[in-house]
Structure 1
């Protein structure tokens, strides 16, 4: 059993300890578990398919990792769950916790609180509170409330927005997290709040049911919402960064535009956030204000990393386990896993819920190892920056009246979104306009809502577009130790003719195509100083076709730098540990 050593909040002036297991556990200060593919003596190395390899010096970011119901040493899943029901903790109105009784919710059985706490290792928590079978029977009687539902699992729920119900729930939170000291327990990494509704995930199904029943209106709901999260923040105090709001961004609520920004309001109150549906990687989370992700007029998404939620202090989480589970199925699990994980990183996630089997961790170890070492990294700490070239349909925004887009000019290609990008951006410029490709098309993966995705973009030699322009985030470039880097280009090996990488410091060796019609990745050494050369193109790269070459389809580009420079390494060592 893993026993993850605590990282209490502090300011480090000595080298920052990465998460490690204590006792007889395992060390999580683990670099890549697969060899790095370098450019080699010729300056170009070709491998089949995708390449997720990282240099041996890379280590996990602080305040990042995998969490699940159970720890799994083989997959470096180090944070287990502690689940309890409200009824289990407060079977009577007595002002004390029952720490020795078992409980249940969602068809699961829970050991007593003390028994769960006695197990070794770090943990995250859920308090199943809102269900009529989860809440203490005395609460509904004392508060004089009725339930709403059923939800999609056939359960009914209490109105947690009711002042009396909320007051009793906050009393229980205070007993558990303040009086018992769990909020300050360094083993507690985070807790899902507020404890409603289905699976303790805060969707709007029950709120809409209460509105439909005439028992809730916008004014009453928003009045409760305005203080709910600040109540929790005040209760947790300096440990408020362990709170994680489970609501979806831009929820499908009953109040029109009034509930569009409620997830952001929760985050702005000073807590983290989690989404549970990045498996539908094209749908809904393109415009996600709580995560700082916004669609631009050119269809690209940008993320505002200046938001407090991305400071490294908070939890920004998702759950990627429903690929051939949870009622989903797909004949191409690798594609679904890859895209869901890329979407998570585009949103700058630092924690991910996994279930090793359904998450296909053993089947795709290179991909999951890359993800483990990418979660929570910043432009100044990450070993790589990347761009997934694609055009994908976000059907959530098909309705021209939906979203913050005021007119057609604000997003002319609506609802098509261009690329998934992290510190490497593909730019359209004269002679280098990227075009949609039909080489790798995926339609309605899992369900209709997930739209159509054209993976890969192509040049158009006939129209004069003979390359792709890439802009490197200057923070990423500045953190390179000596400006050395390789560019990994995943391309369709179709047609003929070479391509190379042009930089302000010169050009790379050329990559020759063989016409195999297979997806391949070329690892290409960039000229020395490519990330530090002076001039207007200091942080620009261009994939350029040779004269007479056929069109080139590119699906993924990953810029991998040498070690971080001393200043960047010092910043990482003095980062706040969490």
Structure 2
């Protein structure tokens, strides 16, 4: 996916890449690298905001959204925020170490240059050892493919010409050329294996393969090479199908630190032959990252590399039995482009929330942030909830949730449905996708069919590709639909200690109350005041309700007006 970033360089100039530009006056002691000073960020902390709770007989209603979590919640293993530099205030503890290929291997036979500075993508990098000597954990990029990033001797030795330009005006070496790829693998071996970095516990992960713009594996250059007649499908696929196993074999027991940066369903020149290439990279034994969950409606509904699949009813399911979701690998995304990187919105809160919900629907465990452009200080309750949510499993999470909506995935708006649907009629509402859900699924059944509503419509947020979304679903008393039914994941339900609450974010419009029906009985009712505002009600479930059954129903009282619900969370208050 093409990702414009014109504002990043300005941010870097201001301070964004401080972690990559600090110089050292002392000779690095390489033997100290594995035990260098730890990060100054304490991550083993619970929620920074108190749980909004409720007593069995009295629901608690607050204005707006409610992201609160119980005190017992802690971050999941192998999860967190990463960025260019650490930020103690926002609990970002994993900083970047960036080098260019030319910087660390300027000559063919001189070994690694660990001292010289380098540059790529308009950025300047300190020497490798100077960066490694800084405190704390880190992630890495090797900017490899750019004509100005790669060693001059590589193009000469391999007899290749660059392709491009990309959207930043740069040209790139064809890394699918077996000679170029062989030299890059040799550099990776010397840097990560012979140099011990792959074994270093401070190295959390590495973006690979180091191409193209921003070292993100976009398909723009592959398309350019095909258009120029220098790359054909057979050559590309032959290289592709050994490239990732090359890296996995090279890293051995540390292969889980490799993160493939290509998008699912790549935007390239070879049609159906490339549909499942991202899935192939994951199946080779590495993690994956998407760079575009800011476009939360587009393209990533059917995402086989993440195990996400659209069902005939428009809901998405995620196959959590896949190795990628074992907790060992990185499932990453980057959510920092809201009023930056060429994007603009007049409702950043909505954009931040929906992109983060999309990330969680994909079961992301690592997220790239830039505290300012990510609006972390502006929306602290939401980002704190996200910090404690990413990487959790159904049996470890404090909550399960469903965001009720109908959204248009314009990637599937053409003539061809996703590959699972051989019959276009098998997904009758295509390209409309129902809800974002994690361990709580809204179910249509007689008397509880959810209806689209236009009370909170959003059109073309960021760009036309993001389509139209109708946030919230409604009852329809006139049609006999007087509630919403939800199924709770059995693994999440089994982890309940007995005392749970449900948080229902609803539009406080009209009159009449609603309550929850469970197999253990009904809850106290929530009265509406017709304020016209979005509000969140916290409702205590009967003791042991999730042990009695996994079915919940939001039910209107007799004679009540229709109810619009936007978000439902089931929360384990104790563990």
Partner of 1:450: 466
1:465 counterpart (481, 499, 505): 481
1:51 aligns with 2:62: no
Structure 1: gaps of 5 or more residues:
3-20, 565-578
Which deviations, in whole Å up to 9, do the C-alpha atoms of 1:123-153 show, x marking residues without a partner?
A: 0000000000000000000000011000000
1:203 aligns with 2:218: yes
Which deviations, in whole Å up to 9, do the C-alpha atoms of 1:16-44 show, x marking residues without a partner?
A: xxxxx965723211100011100136430
Partner of 1:256: 271
* SS of alignment partner, residue 198 of structure 2: helix
* SS of alignment partner, residue 328 of structure 1: coil
1:332 aligns with 2:347: yes
Partner of 2:290: 275
* SS of alignment partner, residue 184 of structure 1: coil
Partner of 1:8: none
Structure 1 residues 187 and 23: alpha-carbon distance in aligned structure 2, compared to 1, 3 A threshold: closer
Partner of 1:428: 444
1:491 aligns with 2:506: yes
1:478 counterpart (475, 489, 494): 494
Which deviations, in whole Å up to 9, do the C-alpha atoms of 1:453-476 show, x marking residues without a partner?
A: 000000000000000000000000
1:354 aligns with 2:369: yes
Partner of 2:31: none
Q: Is the 8 A contact 1:484 1:531 kept in 2?
A: no
1:441 counterpart (447, 457, 481): 457
Q: Is the 8 A contact 1:99 1:112 kept in 2?
A: yes
**TM-score of the superposition, structure 2-length normalised?**
0.93
**Partners of 1:349 and 1:43 in 2: CA distance:** 35
Task: Tell me how large the CA RMSD over aligned residues is.
Answer: 1.2
Q: Is the 8 A contact 2:39 2:93 kept in 1?
A: no
Partner of 1:162: 177
1:236 aligns with 2:251: yes
1:407 aligns with 2:423: yes
Q: Is the 8 A contact 1:249 1:290 kept in 2?
A: yes
Shift of 1:563: 3.0
Q: Is the 8 A contact 2:41 2:93 kept in 1?
A: no
1:93 aligns with 2:104: no
* SS of alignment partner, residue 387 of structure 1: strand
1:516 aligns with 2:527: no
Partner of 2:235: 220
Q: Is the 8 A contact 2:56 2:542 kept in 1?
A: no
Which deviations, in whole Å up to 9, do the C-alpha atoms of 1:226-270 show, x marking residues without a partner?
A: 100000000000000000000000011111100000000000000
Q: Is the 8 A contact 1:279 1:322 kept in 2?
A: yes
2:435 counterpart (415, 419, 443): 419
Shift of 1:94: 1.2
Q: Is the 8 A contact 1:43 1:508 kept in 2?
A: no
Which deviations, in whole Å up to 9, do the C-alpha atoms of 1:91-115 show, x marking residues without a partner?
A: 1101510001000001100000010
Q: Is the 8 A contact 1:281 1:340 kept in 2?
A: yes
Which deviations, in whole Å up to 9, do the C-alpha atoms of 1:324-343 show, x marking residues without a partner?
A: 00000000000000000000
Which deviations, in whole Å up to 9, do the C-alpha atoms of 1:137-175 show, x marking residues without a partner?
A: 000000000110000000000000101000000000000
Partner of 2:559: 548
> How many residues are treated as equivalent by the alignment?
541
2:573 counterpart (547, 558, 562): 562
Structure 1 residues 176 and 23: alpha-carbon distance in aligned structure 2, compared to 1, 3 A threshold: closer
**Partners of 1:164 and 1:23 in 2: CA distance:** 39
Shift of 1:360: 0.2
1:313 aligns with 2:328: yes
Q: Is the 8 A contact 2:56 2:541 kept in 1?
A: no
**Partners of 1:391 and 1:163 in 2: CA distance:** 46
Structure 1 residues 430 and 152: alpha-carbon distance in aligned structure 2, compared to 1, 3 A threshold: same
Q: Is the 8 A contact 1:498 1:545 kept in 2?
A: yes
* SS of alignment partner, residue 547 of structure 2: coil
Partner of 1:364: 379
Alignment of 1:287-306 (within 5 A): 287-306=302-321
Q: Is the 8 A contact 2:282 2:324 kept in 1?
A: yes
**Partners of 1:65 and 1:282 in 2: CA distance:** 24
